[in-house]
Homo-oligomer: A and B are copies of this chain.
Amino acid sequence: MTERPPHGQRWRIGELADATGLTVRTLHHYEHVGLLAPSARSDGNQRLYEEDDVRRLYRIIALRDLGLSLADIRRLLDEDRGALAEVLRAHLAHVDAELARLGRLRTLLERACAGAERMGEPADALAAIEAMSLVAKRAEAREAEPHDETEAAWRELGAQLRACMDAREVPYSPCVRALAHRARALLFEFTGGDRSTMDALVFLRRRDPPQNLAGWDPALFRYLDEALACLASSENEG
């Protein structure tokens, strides 16, 4: 680590790079964007940085390490030092937003990892991830406009099915079969008729039960599962 240059108080570019841990190219770049120009040049046109330049560089590095853009740093150092607190606040808000986004992403990624590891076929895993993405987007859309007509349909179906469940109707009774048909049709519509997406959706719901989705609870989902299984087996027999 060269700390003091051998030529009085002037640093050559390589010396300054060594002392700060930056690259020579980075110092070139800072000069190119008007952030830091050396106060002098040697006879052979080599850059010579003086004490003031070095002091400025350390401030640049400190602000850069806080994540500010070079344009912001330039503005703060050259034009508007008073804006410092304001710019830092704005940047903090931006970092918070990034943290929130990455947190959500992390949740999705973890589910996708679990899915990808338990699915046997890679194609199934891809379908599961696609279904997950689809569900996440529906959830976002629900945030924006809560009275979605698809949701209303599921809510009504849920209410009817719950009435059957409370009345202890067996899953193969005609009215439950009718509701199971209706559920399958809605699911078909929701997934665009894609078989593997439908299966992946069912798989995901089992692993990761949604809370109070359109008035559905785990018990109601299990009741529907039974009804769907009855429907499928009777169709296979017929």
Which residues of A come within 8 Å of B, CB atoms? 55, 58-59, 61-63, 65-67, 76-77, 81-82, 84-85, 88-89, 91-92, 95-96, 98-99, 102-103, 105-106, 108-110, 112-113, 116-117, 122-123, 125-126, 129-130, 132-134, 136, 194
**Contact status of A95 and B102, CB under 8 A, knowing A62-B132, A63-B129:** yes
Across the interface, do A81 and B129 meet the contact criterion of CB distance under 8 Å? no
**Contact status of A89 and B113, CB under 8 A, knowing A62-B132, A95-B105:** yes
A65 to chain B, nearest CB (A): 5
- What are 28 A-B contacts defined by CB distance under 8 Å? A55-B194, A58-B134, A59-B130, A65-B133, A66-B105, A66-B108, A66-B112, A66-B129, A77-B126, A81-B122, A81-B123, A84-B116, A85-B113, A85-B116, A85-B117, A85-B125, A88-B109, A88-B112, A88-B113, A88-B116, A92-B106, A92-B110, A92-B113, A95-B102, A95-B105, A96-B106, A99-B106, A102-B102
A61 to chain B, nearest CB (A): 7
Q: Which of A88, A103, A116 has the most CB of B within 10 A?
A: A88
Number of copies: 2
Which of chain B's residues has its CB closest to A55's CB?
A: B194
A161 to chain B, nearest CB (A): 28
CA separation between A113 and B129, bound complex, in Å? 40
Residues on B with beta carbons closer than 8 Å to the beta carbon of A84: 116, 122, 125-126
Which of chain B's residues has its CB closest to A84's CB?
A: B116
CA separation between A222 and B110, bound complex, in Å? 48
Partner of A98, one of B58, B61, B89, B102: B102
